[in-house]
Amino acid sequence: MTTMEILRAARAAWPALQDADTAKKNAALDAMAAALLAQEAEILAANAADMEAAKGRISPVMLDRLRLTPERVAGMAEGIRQLIALPDPVGAVVTRTVRPNGLVIEKTRVAMGVIAIIYESRPNVTSDAAALALKAGSACVLRGGKEAFRSANAIVSAMQKGLERVGLPAALVQLVQDTTRQSATELMTAVGLVDLLIPRGGAGLIRTCTENARVPCIQTGTGICHVYVDAAADQDMALDIIDNAKTSRPSVCNAEEVLLVHEAVAAEFLPKLRRRLVDDRAAKGLTPVELRLDARAAEIIPGTPAGERDFDTEFLDYILAVAVVKDADAAIRHIAAHSTGHSEAVVSRDPAVLERFARSVDSAAVYLNCSTRFTDGGEFGLGCEMGISTQKLHARGPMGLEELTTCKYVVKGDGQVR
């Protein structure tokens, strides 16, 4: 089928899901998980073909992301099953107003309709995204990366078997069959057929969506996250937070990329920082962090001089840009000028500084004396997530089930006119 035919089939299938109650949606999730396990051999064979074709064409890190094993397939099935326990967001009455004329106005949470997701190579995103959309009451059109095309097709085919087993249309979960740019563009411009487009991937994909999307779109992911160490910081706590934010998983969007240090403590703090992130790590055989220093930081410790773009780059690597700032206001201004609006942290014992930072920093998540790494659906207690929104419209921060729905007003009357 062409991408447009797939979208039309999704729209046509959606009313069946709109009519499905929570029990039916949960039965579908259970059947989808069971089908993934039942089709394990087919999925692994498809993945082996993907791996063979990709070998030498993508990096070892990407190749590892692409690889499926029986354990990973079991993990995907388990991920789907975990959604069964989460509350169904659809149908909740968010607000209820009785007007003087007797009208009862209920703002009711309802499904979006058709959600399109453009993602890159990890095959498990296929099942995660489809299951989240389904629980949120929406049909889902997936457009994955070409490296994982065979794997994704096998996964979708299994999930469709699960849907059919409970009497729901297979077209509620579909994979776009064209992995060229053309299909991404078609999804971005299918006004009236796509209710929500979620790009999950690197800065390039997000930019392409911002520039080309005509359908409602939520930007996810890019994180140039800052930690500001105040004059009144507990410096040992600051070191722990920075170490965690930078080195626990440098390749993710909630990892720290920039450190700002108050000038009053820079001479004392920066040597400790260097010891922790460079010397101690090297001594333990861990990758030392490359420090890219602004002129003032470079007067205090050795490191790479920061280049022009170093305070505007999502390194996703063992690299940290470091600058010395005059005070908390200067840190807030620096963040306003350079942040992607994802996650920023302050370390301070001064309540006025914490309050000012929390109020003035205009990002999805603002951390007071804790690590930026907590920006995550699981860590926030949402149970799951479709990505981290860095935009202000609709959803900001981790997008759980509720963020994948919309509301409509149901107004009940008895002949009222205006």
d(CA 305, CA 312): 15
User: Does residue number 393 form part of the binding site for its own copies (CB under 8 A)?
Assistant: yes
User: Does residue number 150 form part of the binding site for its own copies (CB under 8 A)?
Assistant: no
Residue of the chain from 61, 211, 284, 308 that contacts its own copies (CB under 8 A): 211
User: Does residue number 350 form part of the binding site for its own copies (CB under 8 A)?
Assistant: no
Q: Which residue stretch of 39-47, 63-71, 233-241, 290-298 sits at the interface with its own copies (rule: CB under 8 A)?
A: 233-241
Q: How far is CA 323 from the centre of its chain?
A: 28
DSSP strands (E only) in 193-288: 196-200, 225-229, 256-262
DSSP state of 323: E
Tokens of 309: 């773009």
In angstroms, give the least distance from the CB of 319 to its own copies.
20
Q: Which residue stretch of 47-55, 159-167, 258-266, 358-366 sits at the interface with its own copies (rule: CB under 8 A)?
A: 358-366
Residue of the chain from 42, 164, 178, 240 that contacts its own copies (CB under 8 A): 240
Residue of the chain from 56, 285, 302, 415 that contacts its own copies (CB under 8 A): 415
Do 26 and 80 form a contact (C-beta atoms < 8 A)? Answer: no
Instruction: State the residue for tokens 């105040």.
Output: 230
Q: Which residue stretch of 49-57, 149-157, 222-230, 390-398 sits at the interface with its own copies (rule: CB under 8 A)?
A: 390-398
Query: How long, in residues, is the chain?
Result: 418
Q: Which is nearer to its own copies, 18 or 124 (CB)?
A: 18
Nearest partner of 255 among 319, 163, 159, 350, judged by Cα: 319
User: Does residue number 218 form part of the binding site for its own copies (CB under 8 A)?
Assistant: yes
In angstroms, give the least distance from the CB of 416 to its own copies.
4
Nearest partner of 38 among 73, 68, 2, judged by Cα: 73
Question: With b meaning 16 or more CB within 10 Å and e meaning fewer, what string describes 65-103?
Answer: bbbbeeebbeebbebbbebbebebbbeeeeeeeeeeeee
Could you list the residues that contact its own copies (CB under 8 A)? 15, 18-19, 97, 99, 103, 105, 107, 110, 112-113, 191, 195-196, 210-211, 214, 216, 218, 234, 237, 240-241, 243-245, 248, 358-360, 362-371, 373-375, 379-381, 391-394, 396-397, 406-418
